[in-house]
A and B are shown apart, each in its own frame.
Chain A
């Protein structure tokens, strides 16, 4: 009699089960984290001259291996790691896109032909701008290789962000994603003060948004007694009377995510950070953070807060309209191309929100397609911006782009493709993306939202086309930037961005089917 009792007793005292983790499904995240750690070791033990090639090998191999694992997991639909990670169609699709885009971004970051003194990063981020140290390091041709571990960690955070199924993991992923980005933003080789200011702003506002997210999570925990997204959803349906804990908690979590998305009125950091960061980092951030943040936002809205749709939809309506209108209108007045693209990215976030608000399966699919299309176009656009230069670095003032089409027709044509895509002109990915978002929204009954969106696209088309007009229709003068001849890295990234933009515009059917088949989020 005593033995079983003892046994039961033991089981009661030590209720320890090994957490069930499907390592195959979370392999992409682990690979990138491992690569980040390895990359730190490379910094520590490989001599300076050998670091760059080794780092590049580590990063590229990790990205490709992770992508292969995502492909291998295609079709999986499982909740693993004790309910904290949900691998499903949309999650895998976003992970795959993130990895491919990160691959292109890594190529931009590895470029060191366009700047005569090295790559886009300060040789030593710790030196004072304008100091003797800085000059010496530049003269000796030092290259910063610490960017690579930061890059790997950031990507691993993004991969985790889009599949996290509880608010705490999501918060951790948010931080893993963001902290390295704050550092990367401050490492520009040129205009370092601007870059450091950008990093500071990004960090402070990012920290604020993290605080919102965390506080909201705590309130939601207070409401539901759990941080699991599906449990929160169950509790919302189970408790018919809505508590202020739930309302404020949900609002704060959404505010935290909308910060990362760059939606108005949480967009103030975007222009400064986009402008100040080293251009490859801007491209990386613009493309991937948008994907990751929207992935998380969609998951929170669809999985946890699905029952609250009637409460958040009006709020997101207003935010979507504000985001589209403010982004498009302010972009018109910009004279710096990076700032213009920053406001453009705000406007684009508004268009994606139109699909998000639809809260239907079509809405989800259209938002996914939009993210894919937007990411590749953005990477390509920033690749071009990194190449248009003068003696003092990148020539980002719009007037310097006048007549660029005459001087460098191929690069200008590529940039034209990206601008047309962002403007949503047919035969580019941007058109199909806008089209699917709009139709999904109309099908969900948001006709007026779409009318505003169409008007905002007309406004937006104006400033995108203005750049095209400027490049091709103005005469090149002495002020016109020269396009640096890049190495194979930028060339490949640029070509890939342009190809995807055109292919998704001309034969979008396969990808449309892919996003449609991605199914909904797992609960």
Chain B
């Protein structure tokens, strides 16, 4: 086993960075930004070091395991460790944070009524990164919960202090929704501990809990507590109403972290906690959850189609995509679940590309996010329009981009299990194409809109911020093996822990359509 506590170091670097930035004297804004960027890049470098050491072929799904007793009286430990799923999500977070820092270089200065300082903004982003790493790396349910809740604090301040006109309302709504979900999860967590204590000393250790055999009735109750929290976080229809407000009020950078990474905690939680610990309950509730996911998929897409506000459009579009991710998880096929994880990464990247490009555009037009305020941008700022188009195409999952891989795998996995579910979900994709392209067409093409003639094109810093996202989207789209190689063993582990097997090629009465998809 590793003796170097890699994950602790990884989580500590941004935290130290956050403290350093926060302690800088007032007025040293440039230094604060530079320090924040350096720390976020150092975190990224460390993540790469960790990822390179991760052995995808190992028989151990969890690696870099650390475990120190914390509150032994209640079986609580400081336990960290990552499987492939945790690793790619940490990598996603570590990639997006420097991007967001660079893209948000002048966010605070451009918000005249922002309540916080420049250094505060960057310190909060770094603090948020620590909690993101912690939440994906925790192998103790209690520790996970702590990160899950602590995460709300920097996010709340990022929205509430630096956001747009509706920020207070949006931040409070976000916080209350999340806290409500968190409380239900807390109750279920205590119940889980109690169940584990029936055989002597109780525990919060994920490995022990996942190996436990819980009575199905209890499972069904406890599952709901966890699932409720994750469904709010993800967000799944009908628990989504906080997201459009939060994303609409937040800075584009904050929104990218919120939708791109934080919301993934919900879907990550489902795959990490709901499935392996409560297999029977997961199976029991799967039809309902699949139905909710499908509703969310269509609801989000249709509302996005009718949105007049870009940020809210992105939020609804994400909600639609989360429906797809949840669908992939609960069809219980290897390919569907792997696809969900790939799609989580892809969605993070495509959200970043689209949201940041749109953010650069809004900054150039007094922060307006109304679609009606824009037209013909591709003539005034062609490079910006190009990135915007790329983001739109990534959102609609153009073949060759990583989002296509994820979407395709999820649909394949759905078809494998339930033909009609796959068929319905595929229809939803069509609407995605409609709203993404319509958005491009309305804002970017046509005659240059009033007041938009003089807006400059993207500058060096902005292009630098977007380039890594674009490059990763294309590279992983053409060659997804690095992600799949680490994710697949982890998914195999999840599948075996819930006792699910991929359906045989012949699906009974649903016909012979899926013959030949045997792996």
Contact = CB atoms under 8 A, between A and B. Distances in A.
Interface of A: 425-427, 432, 435-436, 438-439, 442-443, 450, 454, 457-458, 461, 465, 469, 473, 475, 507-509, 512-513, 516
A426 B149 contact: yes
Contacts of B183: 458, 461
B149 A425 contact: yes
B71 A439 contact: no
A512 B176 contact: no
Nearest to A474: B168
B149 A442 contact: no
B194 interface: yes
A443 B149 contact: no
Given A439-B197, A439-B202, A473-B168, A513 B176 contact: no
| 5 closest Cβ pairs, A-B complex | A512-B73, A473-B172, A442-B194, A454-B187, A458-B183
Interface string B66-89: 000001111000000000000000
B470 interface: no
The A interface is mostly helix, strand or loop, or mixed, namely helix
Contacts of B184: 458
A139 to B, nearest CB: 43
Given A436-B73, A454-B187, A473-B160, 5 more contacts: A425-B149, A439-B190, A465-B176, A509-B72, A516-B73
Given A426-B142, A442-B194, A443-B197, A513 B160 contact: no
B193 interface: yes
B302 interface: no
B172 A435 contact: no
B146 A426 contact: yes
Contact of B171 (A436, A465, A473, A509): A473
Contacts of A443: 197
Contacts of A508: 71, 73
B54 interface: no
Nearest to A426: B146
A475 B171 CA distance: 13
A439 B183 CA distance: 17
B145 interface: yes
B281 to A, nearest CB: 18
Interface string B139-159: 000100110011000000000
Nearest to A424: B186
Contacts of B193: 435, 439
Interface in B168-226: 168, 171-172, 175-176, 179, 183-184, 186-187, 190-191, 193-194, 197, 202
Interface string B318-344: 000000000000000000000000000
Contact of A435 (B72, B74, B179): B74
A51 B47 CA distance: 66
Contacts of B194: 438-439, 442, 450
B186 A469 contact: no
B145 A426 contact: yes
Nearest to A516: B73
Contacts of B142: 426
B391 to A, nearest CB: 33
Contacts of A461: 179, 183
A469 B197 contact: no
A442 B71 CA distance: 19
Nearest to B160: A473
B197 A458 contact: no
Contacts of A457: 187
Given A426-B146, A465-B179, A442 B197 contact: yes
Residue of B149, B150, B179, B197 with most partner-chain A CB within 10 A: B179
Interface in B454-483: none
Contacts of A469: 172, 175-176
15 contacts: A426-B145, A427-B150, A432-B74, A435-B193, A439-B193, A439-B202, A442-B197, A454-B191, A458-B183, A458-B187, A461-B179, A508-B71, A509-B71, A509-B72, A512-B73
